[in-house]
Amino acid sequence: MLENLSSLFSLKERVAVITGGGGDLCGTMSRALSIAGCKVAVLDILLSKAEAVAEAIRAEGGIAQAYACDVLDEASLKSAYEAICSSLGVPDILINGAGGNNPKGSTKAEFLDPEKLDDPESSNFFDLDFDGVRKTFDLNFLGTFLPTKVFSRGMVEKGKGAILNISSMGAFNPLTQVGAYSAAKAAVANFTKWLAVHFARTGVRVNALAPGFFMTEQLRFLHIDQKTGEPTPRSRKVISHTPMGRYGNPEDLLGAVIYLLSDSASFVTGAVLPIDGGFSSYSI
């Protein structure tokens, strides 16, 4: 094995499926997997976003196809699976990257003020919209569960594969305000461990990343004042609680992605790896 150390990280000729592939983080992952030798199926609910990533991969000499897919619609997932098997082959890799937060499932207040229970501006726990909470949970947890159910079958039948879920460091210690999102990502982490055990004797490994704060376009809208361009108070709190003193960049995820999906992690399953600049480790 030592003589072939570099080959342990090779992903050549493997078929990789990435949901949410049109986004900032998963778009970067898609391109990285192509460079590592994968044939990449880029899935997104918006075909235009998936196609933009697939076109970038093809322009770099890689093999990629874009597919419109709703991760909460099993029929849509099965249709994509059949198309991928026909054009690229049976998937070897699945990254469950689709996810996000619904503002209606969040509070504005960090702490509940009993004197403002009826204040419409307080936006506390009692003001949470059930539909917003459910949409957040569905997208993050069921949007991981359903694609896994569809795309892992072929891996089990082949006796080899790797699944990578996207949890959050908020799964370890819930973030203020985004209670539904933190709970959903905790469910993803828990499901990762459960499925890793369930699949342990099939040849299919299941792991997860737990990213910290990454400056995506979605996060920029919430953490940068759109009028002044200055960090918001929440942004300043994030940086002060991140020992490395910065937000993550999409490229900061790639080493862990390649490692967990490759044969170099052949005895790693059920792991939830924080990539958060020390955020989840820091206390005072």
User: Cα(59)–Cα(109) distance, rounded to whole angstroms?
Assistant: 46
Backbone phi and psi for residue 171, each to the nearest 5 degrees, phi listed first: -75, -30
Distance CA 248, CA 279 (A): 11
Q: 164 - beta bridge partners?
A: 95, 207
Give the contacts of 75 (CB within 8 A, at least 6 positions apart).
none
- Which tokens sit at 62? 């890689």
The two beta strands, 93-96 and 15-19, are: parallel
> Residue with structure tokens 């082959």?
89
Secondary structure letter of residue 212 according to DSSP: -
Residues whose CB falls within 8 Å of the CB of residue 83, separated by 6 or more in sequence, listed in order: 65, 67
Among the options 181, 247, 259, 282, which is catalytic? 181
**Catalytic status, residue 181:** yes
- 180 secondary structure, DSSP code: H
Give the residue from 255, 84, 224, 98 showing the smallest Cα distance to 155. 84
Cα torsion at 137, 139, 142, 143 (round to 10°)?
A: -160
- Structural contact between residues 37 and 10, judged by C-beta atoms closer than 8 angstroms: yes
Residues with a known catalytic role: 181
